[in-house]
Protein backbone atom coordinates (compact mmCIF):
# COMPACT_ATOMS: atom_id res chain seq x y z
CA UNK A 1 0.00 0.00 0.00
CA UNK A 2 1.01 3.61 -0.40
CA UNK A 3 -0.01 6.52 1.80
CA UNK A 4 0.04 10.25 1.19
CA UNK A 5 -0.09 12.78 4.03
CA UNK A 6 0.92 16.35 4.73
CA UNK A 7 3.21 15.54 7.66
CA UNK A 8 4.90 12.27 8.57
CA UNK A 9 6.28 12.14 12.13
CA UNK A 10 8.73 9.34 12.91
CA UNK A 11 8.85 8.46 16.61
CA UNK A 12 6.04 8.76 19.19
CA UNK A 13 7.97 9.98 22.21
CA UNK A 14 7.11 13.36 23.76
CA UNK A 15 8.69 15.21 20.84
CA UNK A 16 6.93 13.29 18.10
CA UNK A 17 3.54 13.26 19.78
CA UNK A 18 3.72 17.00 20.46
CA UNK A 19 4.72 17.71 16.86
CA UNK A 20 1.88 15.52 15.59
CA UNK A 21 -0.64 17.17 17.89
CA UNK A 22 0.15 20.74 16.85
CA UNK A 23 0.50 19.91 13.17
CA UNK A 24 -2.93 18.27 13.27
CA UNK A 25 -4.36 21.23 15.13
CA UNK A 26 -3.00 23.42 12.35
CA UNK A 27 -5.10 21.51 9.84
CA UNK A 28 -2.48 19.12 8.47
CA UNK A 29 -3.13 15.49 7.61
CA UNK A 30 -0.67 13.84 10.01
CA UNK A 31 0.66 10.30 10.34
CA UNK A 32 2.68 9.44 13.47
CA UNK A 33 4.61 6.15 13.34
CA UNK A 34 6.17 4.32 16.29
CA UNK A 35 8.35 1.24 15.97
CA UNK A 36 7.42 -0.23 19.34
CA UNK A 37 4.26 -2.16 20.09
CA UNK A 38 3.38 0.11 23.01
CA UNK A 39 4.01 3.83 23.24
CA UNK A 40 5.99 4.82 26.33
CA UNK A 41 7.82 1.56 26.93
CA UNK A 42 10.45 0.67 27.83
CA UNK A 43 10.96 3.62 30.18
CA UNK A 44 14.51 4.95 29.98
CA UNK A 45 14.14 8.09 32.06
CA UNK A 46 14.66 9.29 35.62
CA UNK A 47 11.12 10.73 35.31
CA UNK A 48 11.80 13.96 37.20
CA UNK A 49 10.54 17.24 35.72
CA UNK A 50 10.28 20.85 36.87
CA UNK A 51 6.84 22.34 37.37
CA UNK A 52 7.62 25.12 34.90
CA UNK A 53 8.15 22.52 32.20
CA UNK A 54 4.50 21.60 32.18
CA UNK A 55 3.58 25.29 32.17
CA UNK A 56 5.84 25.96 29.19
CA UNK A 57 4.44 23.13 27.09
CA UNK A 58 0.85 23.96 28.01
CA UNK A 59 0.01 20.87 30.05
CA UNK A 60 -2.10 20.88 33.19
CA UNK A 61 -0.61 18.70 35.97
CA UNK A 62 -2.64 15.52 36.18
CA UNK A 63 -2.74 12.40 38.30
CA UNK A 64 -3.02 10.60 34.98
CA UNK A 65 0.76 10.87 34.58
CA UNK A 66 2.20 12.39 37.81
CA UNK A 67 2.96 10.01 40.66
CA UNK A 68 4.76 12.27 43.15
CA UNK A 69 5.38 15.94 43.90
CA UNK A 70 8.60 17.14 45.54
CA UNK A 71 9.55 20.34 47.32
CA UNK A 72 13.07 20.49 45.96
CA UNK A 73 16.33 18.62 45.61
CA UNK A 74 19.14 17.59 47.92
CA UNK A 75 22.52 17.91 46.21
CA UNK A 76 25.18 15.73 47.85
CA UNK A 77 28.80 16.77 47.32
CA UNK A 78 31.71 14.30 47.17
CA UNK A 79 32.51 14.87 50.86
CA UNK A 80 28.92 14.09 51.86
CA UNK A 81 27.87 17.69 52.41
CA UNK A 82 24.24 18.15 51.39
CA UNK A 83 22.72 21.32 49.99
CA UNK A 84 18.94 21.49 49.99
CA UNK A 85 17.57 23.46 47.05
CA UNK A 86 13.94 24.08 47.93
CA UNK A 87 11.23 26.25 46.43
CA UNK A 88 12.60 29.39 48.12
CA UNK A 89 15.80 28.93 46.10
CA UNK A 90 14.58 27.15 43.00
CA UNK A 91 11.04 28.43 42.65
CA UNK A 92 9.16 26.70 39.87
CA UNK A 93 12.20 24.50 39.12
CA UNK A 94 10.96 22.15 41.84
CA UNK A 95 8.53 19.69 40.53
CA UNK A 96 7.11 16.29 39.84
CA UNK A 97 8.10 12.72 39.25
CA UNK A 98 6.24 11.27 36.29
CA UNK A 99 4.99 7.89 35.34
CA UNK A 100 6.84 8.30 32.07
CA UNK A 101 5.03 5.53 30.20
CA UNK A 102 1.68 7.09 31.11
CA UNK A 103 2.99 10.56 30.22
CA UNK A 104 4.05 9.44 26.76
CA UNK A 105 0.70 7.76 26.17
CA UNK A 106 -1.12 10.87 27.40
CA UNK A 107 0.71 12.96 24.80
CA UNK A 108 -0.05 10.40 22.10
CA UNK A 109 -3.74 10.51 23.03
CA UNK A 110 -3.63 14.30 22.77
CA UNK A 111 -2.19 13.94 19.27
CA UNK A 112 -4.92 11.49 18.30
CA UNK A 113 -7.63 13.76 19.70
CA UNK A 114 -6.21 16.59 17.59
CA UNK A 115 -6.67 14.45 14.49
CA UNK A 116 -3.33 12.70 13.98
CA UNK A 117 -3.33 9.07 12.87
CA UNK A 118 -1.01 6.78 14.85
CA UNK A 119 0.54 3.53 13.65
CA UNK A 120 2.41 1.42 16.22
CA UNK A 121 4.74 -1.47 15.39
CA UNK A 122 5.71 0.59 12.35
CA UNK A 123 9.36 1.34 11.62
CA UNK A 124 10.77 3.81 9.14
CA UNK A 125 13.39 1.91 7.14
CA UNK A 126 14.50 4.59 4.69
CA UNK A 127 13.67 7.94 3.14
CA UNK A 128 12.07 8.67 -0.22
CA UNK A 129 13.71 11.27 -2.44
CA UNK A 130 12.85 13.07 -5.63
CA UNK A 131 15.46 15.33 -7.24
CA UNK A 132 17.20 15.96 -3.90
CA UNK A 133 13.98 16.58 -1.98
CA UNK A 134 12.88 14.24 0.80
CA UNK A 135 9.30 13.36 -0.03
CA UNK A 136 8.48 10.69 2.55
CA UNK A 137 9.70 7.41 3.98
CA UNK A 138 9.58 3.69 3.46
CA UNK A 139 7.93 2.06 6.44
CA UNK A 140 7.54 -1.49 7.62
CA UNK A 141 4.59 -2.85 9.58
CA UNK A 142 4.12 -6.53 10.41
CA UNK A 143 6.64 -7.57 7.71
CA UNK A 144 4.82 -5.44 5.11
CA UNK A 145 6.79 -2.59 3.53
CA UNK A 146 4.95 0.45 2.22
CA UNK A 147 5.67 4.01 1.20
CA UNK A 148 4.40 7.14 2.91
CA UNK A 149 4.69 10.28 0.83
CA UNK A 150 4.66 13.51 2.79
CA UNK A 151 5.17 17.21 2.22
CA UNK A 152 7.28 17.29 5.39
CA UNK A 153 8.99 14.54 7.38
CA UNK A 154 9.72 15.20 11.06
CA UNK A 155 12.43 13.01 12.56
CA UNK A 156 11.71 12.51 16.26
CA UNK A 157 13.47 9.18 16.65
CA UNK A 158 15.82 9.98 19.52
CA UNK A 159 19.47 10.88 19.88
CA UNK A 160 20.60 7.86 17.85
CA UNK A 161 18.39 9.13 15.01
CA UNK A 162 18.54 7.01 11.89
CA UNK A 163 16.42 9.59 10.09
CA UNK A 164 19.15 12.19 10.52
CA UNK A 165 21.80 9.86 9.13
CA UNK A 166 19.61 8.86 6.18
CA UNK A 167 19.13 12.55 5.41
CA UNK A 168 22.90 13.04 5.25
CA UNK A 169 23.08 15.29 8.31
CA UNK A 170 26.19 15.24 10.51
CA UNK A 171 25.04 13.30 13.57
CA UNK A 172 28.31 11.69 14.72
CA UNK A 173 28.77 11.46 18.48
CA UNK A 174 32.08 11.25 20.30
CA UNK A 175 32.37 9.15 23.46
CA UNK A 176 32.49 12.32 25.55
CA UNK A 177 29.10 13.26 24.09
CA UNK A 178 27.38 10.21 25.61
CA UNK A 179 26.51 9.22 29.18
CA UNK A 180 25.87 5.55 29.87
CA UNK A 181 22.87 5.27 32.18
CA UNK A 182 21.46 2.60 34.45
CA UNK A 183 18.44 2.88 36.70
CA UNK A 184 16.75 0.67 39.25
CA UNK A 185 13.25 1.11 40.56
CA UNK A 186 13.65 0.19 44.22
CA UNK A 187 11.14 -0.49 46.98
CA UNK A 188 11.85 -0.33 50.70
CA UNK A 189 14.25 2.61 50.43
CA UNK A 190 14.43 5.20 53.20
CA UNK A 191 14.98 8.94 53.13
CA UNK A 192 13.01 12.14 52.79
CA UNK A 193 10.61 11.90 49.83
CA UNK A 194 10.12 15.66 49.89
CA UNK A 195 13.47 16.03 48.13
CA UNK A 196 14.96 14.24 45.16
CA UNK A 197 18.64 13.43 45.73
CA UNK A 198 21.48 14.20 43.32
CA UNK A 199 24.96 12.78 43.99
CA UNK A 200 28.02 14.45 42.46
CA UNK A 201 31.67 13.46 42.28
CA UNK A 202 33.70 10.30 41.79
CA UNK A 203 30.62 8.16 42.50
CA UNK A 204 29.54 9.02 38.93
CA UNK A 205 32.53 10.14 36.82
CA UNK A 206 31.57 12.85 34.38
CA UNK A 207 27.91 12.62 35.36
CA UNK A 208 25.75 12.21 38.46
CA UNK A 209 23.59 9.75 40.36
CA UNK A 210 20.02 10.32 41.46
CA UNK A 211 17.20 9.21 43.72
CA UNK A 212 13.84 10.35 42.37
CA UNK A 213 10.94 9.45 44.63
CA UNK A 214 7.80 7.81 43.26
CA UNK A 215 6.20 6.97 46.62
CA UNK A 216 7.28 7.29 50.25
CA UNK A 217 9.38 4.12 50.01
CA UNK A 218 9.72 3.65 46.24
CA UNK A 219 12.24 5.52 44.12
CA UNK A 220 14.10 5.54 40.84
CA UNK A 221 17.76 5.12 41.78
CA UNK A 222 20.03 5.70 38.82
CA UNK A 223 23.33 6.88 37.46
CA UNK A 224 24.78 8.51 34.37
CA UNK A 225 28.51 8.10 33.71
CA UNK A 226 30.33 9.72 30.81
CA UNK A 227 31.63 7.15 28.34
CA UNK A 228 34.97 8.92 28.07
CA UNK A 229 35.57 8.18 31.76
CA UNK A 230 34.94 4.43 31.77
CA UNK A 231 36.26 1.38 29.92
CA UNK A 232 32.86 -0.13 29.12
CA UNK A 233 29.19 0.48 29.84
CA UNK A 234 29.14 -2.30 32.45
CA UNK A 235 31.08 0.03 34.74
CA UNK A 236 27.94 2.13 35.18
CA UNK A 237 26.39 -0.80 37.06
CA UNK A 238 29.44 -1.17 39.28
CA UNK A 239 29.35 2.51 40.19
CA UNK A 240 25.62 2.41 40.93
CA UNK A 241 25.83 -0.76 43.00
CA UNK A 242 28.74 0.68 44.98
CA UNK A 243 26.79 3.87 45.75
CA UNK A 244 23.76 1.89 46.90
CA UNK A 245 25.79 -0.46 49.10
CA UNK A 246 27.46 2.40 51.01
CA UNK A 247 24.31 4.52 51.36
CA UNK A 248 22.31 3.26 54.37
CA UNK A 249 19.02 4.74 53.14
CA UNK A 250 19.30 2.71 49.93
CA UNK A 251 21.16 -0.44 50.92
CA UNK A 252 18.13 -2.25 52.35
CA UNK A 253 15.94 -1.59 49.33
CA UNK A 254 14.96 -4.24 46.81
CA UNK A 255 15.22 -3.83 43.05
CA UNK A 256 11.97 -4.48 41.20
CA UNK A 257 12.97 -3.11 37.79
CA UNK A 258 16.20 -2.36 35.93
CA UNK A 259 16.62 -0.32 32.75
CA UNK A 260 19.77 0.66 30.90
CA UNK A 261 20.38 3.13 28.13
CA UNK A 262 22.32 6.21 27.15
CA UNK A 263 21.76 9.93 26.70
CA UNK A 264 23.50 12.55 24.66
CA UNK A 265 25.18 15.41 26.51
CA UNK A 266 26.43 17.09 23.35
CA UNK A 267 25.72 20.49 21.93
CA UNK A 268 22.80 20.69 19.47
CA UNK A 269 23.43 19.65 15.89
CA UNK A 270 24.71 22.49 13.73
CA UNK A 271 22.22 21.57 11.01
CA UNK A 272 18.86 19.98 11.75
CA UNK A 273 17.09 20.35 8.41
CA UNK A 274 17.28 18.98 4.89
CA UNK A 275 14.94 19.68 1.97
CA UNK A 276 11.60 18.26 3.09
CA UNK A 277 12.82 17.15 6.53
CA UNK A 278 13.22 18.57 10.05
CA UNK A 279 14.79 16.90 13.08
CA UNK A 280 13.33 17.66 16.51
CA UNK A 281 14.04 16.88 20.15
CA UNK A 282 16.77 14.38 20.98
CA UNK A 283 17.24 13.63 17.27
CA UNK A 284 18.43 17.24 16.87
CA UNK A 285 20.38 16.93 20.16
CA UNK A 286 18.16 19.56 21.76
CA UNK A 287 19.04 18.16 25.17
CA UNK A 288 20.16 19.81 28.41
CA UNK A 289 23.87 18.88 28.28
CA UNK A 290 24.22 19.32 32.05
CA UNK A 291 21.50 16.86 33.06
CA UNK A 292 20.85 14.86 29.90
CA UNK A 293 17.17 15.76 30.22
CA UNK A 294 15.21 16.21 27.02
CA UNK A 295 11.47 16.19 27.72
CA UNK A 296 10.95 19.96 27.86
CA UNK A 297 13.18 20.76 24.90
CA UNK A 298 11.64 17.90 22.97
CA UNK A 299 8.09 19.11 23.49
CA UNK A 300 9.00 22.73 22.74
CA UNK A 301 10.85 21.77 19.57
CA UNK A 302 8.01 19.47 18.56
CA UNK A 303 5.64 22.42 18.79
CA UNK A 304 8.02 24.74 16.92
CA UNK A 305 8.77 22.15 14.26
CA UNK A 306 5.10 21.51 13.59
CA UNK A 307 4.44 25.22 13.15
CA UNK A 308 7.10 25.28 10.42
CA UNK A 309 5.59 22.30 8.64
CA UNK A 310 1.98 23.43 8.16
DSSP per residue, 136-177: EEEEEETTEEEEEEEEEEEE-S-TT-HHHHHTT------GGG
Query: Using CA atoms, how far apart are residues 161 and 135, in angstroms rounded to an integer?
Result: 18
* DSSP secondary structure letter of residue 281: G
CA atoms within a 13 Å half-sphere pointing along the CA-CB vector of 209: 27
Domains 2-47+101-173+267-309 and 70-96+175-264 alike in fold? no
pTM: 0.93
Query: By three-state DSSP, how is residue 105 classified?
Result: helix
Strand 122-130 relative to strand 72-76, pairing: unpaired
For the domain 70-96+175-264, what is the CATH superfamily, name and number? D-Amino Acid Oxidase, subunit A, domain 2 (3.30.9.10)
Task: Assign residue 26 a region (left: φ > 0; alpha: ψ between -120 and 50; beta: otherwise).
Answer: alpha
Going by C-alpha positions, the residue among 258, 259, 260, 261 that lies closest to residue 178 is: 261
Q: What is the pLDDT of residue 87?
A: 76
Mean per-residue pLDDT, 199-203: 96
Q: Measured between alpha carbons, how far is 255 from 221 in angstroms, rounded to an integer?
A: 9
CB-CB contact of 81 with 74 (8 Å): no
Give tens-digit pLDDT for 209-241.
999 999 999 999 999 999 999 988 889 999 999
pLDDT at 90: 66
The class of domain 2-47+101-173+267-309 in CATH terms is alpha beta
Proportion of the chain above pLDDT 90, given as a percent: 78
Domain spans of the chain? 2-47+101-173+267-309, 70-96+175-264
Distance CA 229, CA 180 (A): 10
ω into 264 cis (within 30 of 0): no
> Given a cut of 70, is residue 309 above it in pLDDT?
no
Average pLDDT, the chain: 93
Amino acid sequence: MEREVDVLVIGAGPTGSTAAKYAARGGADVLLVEKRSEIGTPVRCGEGVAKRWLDEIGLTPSGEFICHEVEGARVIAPDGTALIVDETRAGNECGYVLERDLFDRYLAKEAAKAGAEILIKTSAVGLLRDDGQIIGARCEHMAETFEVRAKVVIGADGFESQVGRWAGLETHLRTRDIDACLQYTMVGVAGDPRYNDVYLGSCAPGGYAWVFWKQTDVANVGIGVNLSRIKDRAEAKRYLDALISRTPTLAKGEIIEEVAGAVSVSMPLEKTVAPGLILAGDAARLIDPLTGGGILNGCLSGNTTSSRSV
